[in-house]
């Protein structure tokens, strides 16, 4: 037997439908957190899919773009471990992405003067140019996602999301 959800209601979004379906299949579970967390997850997924599509022409992946952005924001070359900590990639993934970015001429490895075992990662001019082109476009896409919200609403939303982020991040600590 196939479960068929009733037709969507005009004032419902995807998350409303999912929550209603869970309430039908698990009426004993309070699904109210889905109101917020489901939307955060869906918005994030959709925004990242759009970023992936936007980055296609540049030839770099979203993870590689994240590495480039970390280096672009830094006022000095960074150790791979510092990039890993910011991007939340694994050390192996960071190495793989930096290797590819190096082959593309977007990142270079520099020797660390105080310790020959350590290399520093530095954005090349080509890497900086890619970030300088793509980053403003990403911010503009983000701005479009917030269309219909005024400055005060954005500030309130940012404050509430900051509190949720703190809860999530505190759960990630050992």
Q: What DSSP letter does each residue of the chain carry, written as one string?
A: ----PPPPPTT--HHHHHHHHHHHH-TTS--THIIIIIHHHHHHHHHHHHHHHHHGGGT--HHHHHHHHHHHH-SS-EEHHHHHHHHT--HHHHHHHHHHHHHTTSEEEEE-TT-TT-EEEEE-HHHHHHHHHHHHHHHHHHHHHTTT--HHHHHHHHHHHHHHHHHHHHHH--
105, part of any domain: yes
Residue 174 has pLDDT above 60, yes or no: no
Is the pLDDT at 169 greater than 70, yes or no? yes
Q: In the chain, pLDDT over 70 holds for what percent of residues?
A: 93
Q: Answer for the pair 106, 47: CB distance below 8 angstroms, yes or no.
A: no
d(CA 124, CA 100): 13
pLDDT in tens, 52-103: 999 999 999 999 999 999 999 999 999 999 999 999 999 899 999 999 999 9
Kindly state whether residues 131 and 73 are assigned to the same domain. yes
Same domain, 96 and 114: yes
- 102 and 36 share a domain? no
According to DSSP, the residues that pair with 108 across neighbouring strands are 122
Judge if 35 and 66 occupy the same domain: no
Q: For the chain, what percent of residues have pLDDT higher than 90?
A: 82
Question: Structural domain tally of the chain?
Answer: 2
Sort 166 into a burial class: Cβ within 10 Å, 0-12 / 13-18 / 19+: exposed
Average pLDDT over the chain reads 91
Specify whether the CB–CB gap between 41 and 17 falls below 8 A: no
Question: Which of 3-12, 34-43, 155-164 is predicted least confidently?
Answer: 3-12
Owning domain of residue 117:
60-144
> Using one digit for the tens of pLDDT, what is the confidence trace for 102-130?
999 999 998 877 766 778 999 999 999 99
- Give pLDDT, residue 172: 64
CATH number at residue 89: 1.10.10.10
Indicate whether 9 belongs to any domain: no
pLDDT at site 63: 95
Q: In this structure, are 127 and 70 located in the same domain?
A: yes
Q: Are residues 101 and 134 in the same domain?
A: yes
Token pair of 21 as six digits: 């379906």
CB 135 within 8 A of CB 129: no
Query: Which tokens in the block code for residue 145?
Result: 């996602």
Q: Is the pLDDT of residue 1 over 50?
A: no
If asked whether residues 44 and 64 sit together in one domain, one would say no
pLDDT band of residue 8 (cuts 50, 70, 90) is low
Residue 97 in any domain: the answer is yes
Q: Is residue 154 domain-resident?
A: no
């Amino acid at each position: 037997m196939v479960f068929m959800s009733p037709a969507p209601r005009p004032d419902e979004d995807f998350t409303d439908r999912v929550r209603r379906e869970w309430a039908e299949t698990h009426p004993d579970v309070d699904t109210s957190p889905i109101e917020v967390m489901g939307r955060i997850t869906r918005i994030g997924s959709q925004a990242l899919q759009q970023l992936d599509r936007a980055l296609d022409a540049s030839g770099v992946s979203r993870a590689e773009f994240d590495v480039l952005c970390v280096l672009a924001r830094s006022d000095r070359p960074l150790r791979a471990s510092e990039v890993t900590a910011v991007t939340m990639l694994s050390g192996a993934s960071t190495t793989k992405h930096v290797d590819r970015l190096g082959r593309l001429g977007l990142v270079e490895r520099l020797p660390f003067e105080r310790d020959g075992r350590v290399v520093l990662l530095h954005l090349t001019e080509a890497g900086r140019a890619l970030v300088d082109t793509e980053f403003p476009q990403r911010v503009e896409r983000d701005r479009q996602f917030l269309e219909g919200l005024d400055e005060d609403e954005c500030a309130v939303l940012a404050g509430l999301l900051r509190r949720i982020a703190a809860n999530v991040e505190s759960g990630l600590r050992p």
